[in-house]
Structure 1
Amino acid sequence: MQEAKLVAVIEPILAQHGLELDSLDVTRMGKRSVLRLTVDGDGPQGRGPLLDDIAAASSAVSAALDEDPAVGDHPYTLEVSSRGVGKPLTEPKHFRRNATRLVKLWLADAELTGRITDADDDGVTVDVDGAERTVPFADINKAVVQVEMNRPVDGDEDEEN
């Protein structure tokens, strides 16, 4: 299976479901191949795709691959997932989709952890201990969302638990 041909089949279907292909990994496992799709998208509130969106797109992609000569008679297993919180934020859209989330940024001269308050094409603004700081993307070496067990609900950031 050629990845370029698979992408040509998959991307238009994902677009119909409001999703985009983040990555495609094809791994041969004996006579079968495992196709791992990682998808992303804005979702209904600009905060990432919903599970129902991913499930519907997965079914449509599977049906299309079953019929497409790019797959042919090669048996495969399809795995579709979202980016997840463990994947580094690498593009402005990743920061925008994670607004209000706690993020750790590794800069050339420091590390900082703060809550994303805004993001545009040039950088991200984070609230670090009550002070907003705008960091250009060019200054960020790595950025990862921090998992919070008791994450404040939108609008509840100032309330105590």
Structure 2
Amino acid sequence: MTTFASSLKKEIARVARKELRDEISSLRKGSATYRSEIAELKRKLKSLESQVKALSRSTPQAEPARKTPSLNEAPRGKPGRKVIFGAAEFLALRQHLGFTQAQMGKLVGTSSVSIYKWENGQVTPRAAQLQKILAIRKIGKREALARIQA
């Protein structure tokens, strides 16, 4: 019986290999096709990137955009000039003065939540508060502290 069992086992393995060979060959063909398509796409991408790089070198650079005034810059004597609020500059101003958000809110005349939202860029201050912020920028630490205590 052992020779019968071993020959049956060998025959089953041979038939299984034969069946799998057909299916695996179609998978191998598909895999090879995909690899060649991927390689072609990579070549195209590389050539397009080099074209973009060459075009960016050949085109003249545009003039840099004019810098908009921020809280660190005073308006240049032109009344009615629009001043753009900068959240990072406002945070730097508060840290320079050494104030908490509550103290800065008291100095500007608003709540500490408003100061928090201004610093995080969630909200921009209204024109009235913006004028107060511009005025605060011109004073020193001692005068600002005196205004809070008064």
Q: TM-score, normalised by structure 1?
A: 0.26
Q: As a proportion of its length, which structure holds more strand?
A: 1
- The answer to which structure, 1 or 2, has the higher relative contact order (CA under 8 A, 6+ apart) is 1
Q: As a proportion of its length, which structure holds more helix?
A: 2
Structure ID, larger Rg:
2
Q: TM-score, normalised by structure 2?
A: 0.27
